[in-house]
Amino acid sequence: MIGFMTRLRTWLLIAALSALLVAIGFLLGGSYIYLFLGLAVAMNFFSYFFSDKLALASSRARPISQAQAPELYADIRELTQRAGLPMPRVYMTPAQQPNAFATGRNPSHAAVAVTQGLVQLMPREQVKGVLAHELSHVKNHDILVSSIAAMIGTVITWLSYMFMFFGGDDNNSPLGGIGSLAALIVGPLAATLLQLGISRQREYLADASGARLLGRAAPLADALESLERAGQSIPMQVNPATESLYIANPLSARGMSKLFSTHPPIEERVRRLRAMDAEHAIG
């Protein structure tokens, strides 16, 4: 049931983001609507097969071998065996901020990327908690939606800013310059809200699934607290449209920006995880 609902949300998000692209074309007027319709079709095809490669390339991730990271491989192999998953491809990014993400279109084509800071700065038990969370994304079949949403969100933002400078065809556009301005403002905002609507729930689900995969929630709860502290002291440069891929928001979110974060508050995630252990202890 969880797998079916996740796949349903995936296709609903793809349809919504595709419709947003077409709507931007309509606002710009003229032949742009046909251009953006074709772009939506091409992007869905490209996103399905290549969004993981784009996500890995944008984070400067490189494949890492078992000889280079034997403990990392051992923990991933143990967790995948427990979860009944195939072994994913393993990557490492040069970022010093502890963090990680999973990507790919399905469990057979999955990749897990960890930052250099994660394996260097955090205890192995907490790293294992992070891995359990990311592998739960794989098991729950929601790595595709996050990868596609990140890619399409990036393109919508880029196109909106591009048309701020070049504008639409005012002679044919029903809204002229107002349409271009609306595309600039509404496009990126709508893309963010669409990602936000799904990303927060999938993070809660992956936390709970990761805790069950570990057999207890404490390692993941401790890891989330460590990630939050590190995120406040160690900056990380990422495309804002790809932040939803990571287990913890790699960008500093303060004040009003928290309202538009694709991640739920760390405090709430930790509270739910601690409650899982408490319920198990009581039971």
Query: Would you please indicate which residues are annotated as catalytic (active-site) residues?
Result: 134
Coarse DSSP helix, strand, coil percentages of the chain, rounded to the nearest 5 percent: 70, 5, 25
d(CA 170, CA 175): 8
Q: Are 115 and 93 in contact (CB under 8 A)?
A: yes
Phi/psi at 63 (5° precision): -60, 140
Say if residues 217 and 274 touch (Cβ distance below 8 Å): yes
The CA angle 145-261-233, to the nearest 5 degrees, is 115
Question: Tokens at residue 56, please?
Answer: 């890995």
Three-state DSSP string of 21-71: HHHHHHHHCCCHHHHHHHHHHHHHHHHHHHHHHHHHHHCCCEECCCCCCHH
Cα separations (Å) of 88 from 21, 66, 83, 84, 240?
Answer: 32, 12, 12, 12, 25
Angle at 241 between CA 265 and CA 33, to 5 degrees: 130
What is the Cα–Cα distance from 78 to 93, expressed in whole angstroms? Answer: 22
Strand 111-115 and strand 89-93: pairing?
parallel
Q: How many CB atoms lie within 10 A of CB 117?
A: 19
DSSP annotation string for 91-109: EEE--SS--EEEE-SSGGG
